[in-house]
Structure 1
Amino acid sequence: MKRWFLGTLATVLVIAVLGAVAWFTPLFSVRQFEVEGQEHTTEAEIIEASGIRGGENLLRLDYNKAATQVYELPWVKEVKATYSLPSTVRIAVEERTPLVWIARPEGIALVDESGQPFVIAEPPMGTVEVSGAAQGSLPDLAKIVEVAKSLGDQRPLVARIDAASPRDIVLELHDGRRVRWGAAEDNHDKARALKVVLSQEGQEWDISDPTLVTVR
């Protein structure tokens, strides 16, 4: 019994010593960062936002706090911060996907899939301008984004979505044609009708009722 007790005590002491070494010595200090998933945000911006600095102890860092701080960067949609012994901090991000853009006094605001404007920047290729009174209302803008999402691979053909309201939407194509979408509803059926329209002649189409497409 005494031998068992002494053996257990020795094991506990060894674990305690190893824990102290890991916690208080530079053995597990930060010497490397691995950042992945970023395209529009630089690695340096992500590391700076995390608040983690080289030389800090890996095991004493608050990775939830670091992830929360990186999440504040405008392009970041999701982020996870972890570590890999003996000296690496890993930060994985997923960036937002801009679908449309709107003109603001401060510049061009990119809008993501949720309908949320998130950054002032030049619009990437394939994004669509939204104009009209509806773009000034976030709930209305979210409905217009649903229209843009439904366009799928036809979206690059659209230069502008003009929306006086969520019930009065017109698509202006790069080739000069105009398509009256009508209300931001039945979007899937209207997108299929649009695909048919694009293969036909005619400058102005009305697909507000996708079962009764008209041209003039």
Structure 2
Amino acid sequence: MRRGRSSRAGSDREHSGSAENRVGRGSADRERARSLRRKVFLVTAVCVTVIAALVGVLWFSPLMSVRQIAYVGDGRVTEEEVLRVLDVAEGTPLLRVDTGAAARRVAGIPRVAEVRVQREYPSTVRVTVMERVPVVFFDSPQGQHLMDAGGVDYAIEPPPPGLARLVTPTPGHDDHVTQVALAVLEQLPEEVRFQVSEVAAPTISNISVTLDDGRVLVWGSAEDSERKSAVVSVLLTQPGQVFDVSSPELPTVK
């Protein structure tokens, strides 16, 4: 009986020691975790402070300010036109240049189709402009208007040689008939499109195309344009003056 009590006492002491060890290890782990969190906090605080100081230097310092504006264009929009609306003064810190607002101002030039304004450290603002490409022109009392593939009327001037005339009741970007006529022109086979002298669309269902040699393609509506385009290439190899593909299943030649 005494040995039994002694064994139980020894066992109790062992369990007590294990519990104390676990408590001790838990306290040490918590202390290490707190120490790690303090170190992470200190490192983060230092990094934030350094970044804030660097941003402050770049924001206010003349060390990285605009000293050059580089213009890259592909047509008739001049550097002088761009600089007038860009509104970026030399000496402005690069970080304070609002590239988005500057790009929107340049995009307001009628001939500009796309524009990109970039900061190039340490001291350059680069402006890259792509101009609109005319696909048709239309006549008005003011003169001949150039229009791009999106229907944007962007200039009044003589059209370049070979440009097709657009004839619609009210040509313009927001005019549905204009957009349909331009879509038909885009659907034509490339070898045919380069021969077009006029696209006429009194209505959206009565579209016709006149070629340089006087031949006429009666297109009808814009429906089934892909099938009509495939038929046209074959049909134009036949003699005739009027090629009607308004019903691509039953094309006719007159």
For Structure 1 versus Structure 2, the TM-score category normalised by the shorter chain is: 0.7 to 0.9
**SS at 2:194 equivalent:** helix
User: How many angstroms does 1:105 deviate by?
Assistant: 2.0
- Aligned partner letter, 2:80: A
Output the aligned Cα RMSD: 2.8
Corresponding residue SS for 1:79: strand
Structure 1 or 2, whichever has the larger Rg, is 2
14 and 210 in structure 1: CA distance in 2 versus 1, 3 angstrom threshold:
closer
Q: Does residue 168 in structure 1 map to residue 229 in structure 2?
A: no
Provide Cα deviations, 1:51-72, integer angstroms capped at 9, x if missing partner.
1133322121111110110111
Distance 2:57 2:171 in 1: 58
Question: AA paired with 2:249?
Answer: T
Once the two structures are superposed, the pairs formed by residues 49-68 of structure 1 within 5 Å of their partners are 49-68=85-104
Q: Provide closer, same or farther for how the CA distance between residues 178 and 76 of structure 1 changes in structure 2, counting only shifts above 3 A.
A: same
Mapped to 1, the partners of 2:176 and 2:225 lie a distance apart of 17
For these two proteins, the number of residue pairs brought into alignment is 214
SS at match of 2:63: helix
Decide which of 108, 118, 122 is 1:86's aligned counterpart.
Answer: 122
TM-score of the superposed pair, with normalisation by structure 2:
0.72
Aligned to 2:109: 73
2:74 and 2:82 map into 1 onto residues whose CA distance is: 9
Percentage of matched positions with identical amino acids: 37
Decide whether aligned partners of structure 1 residues 215 and 52 sit closer, same or farther in structure 2, where only a CA change above 3 A counts: same
Q: Which runs of 5+ in 2 are unaligned?
A: 1-34
Corresponding residue for residue 138 of structure 1: 175
Q: Is 1:41 paired with 2:77?
A: yes
Matches within 5 A, 1:167-186: 167-186=205-224
TM-score using structure 1 length? 0.84
Deviation at 1:85, TM superposition (A): 0.7
Structure 1 unpaired stretches of 5+: none
Could you tell me how far apart the structure 2 residues matched to 1:190 and 1:11 are? 65
Which structure 2 residues correspond to residues 120-131 of structure 1 after superposition, within 5 A? 120-131=156-167
- Report what 1:151 is aligned to: 188
- Cα distance in 2 for partners of 1:133, 1:196 equals 31
Separation in 2 of the partners of 1:15 and 1:147? Answer: 56
Q: How does 1:88-107 map to 2 (within 5 A)?
A: 88-107=124-143
Q: CA 1:149–1:46 in structure 2 vs 1: closer, same or farther (change >3 Å)?
A: same
1-structure distance, mates of 2:86, 2:100:
10
Deviation at 1:185, TM superposition (A): 2.1
Distance 2:167 2:42 in 1: 78
Larger RCO (alpha carbons 8 Å, 6+ apart): 1
Aligned residue number for residue 215 of structure 1: 253
**1:30 paired residue number:** 66
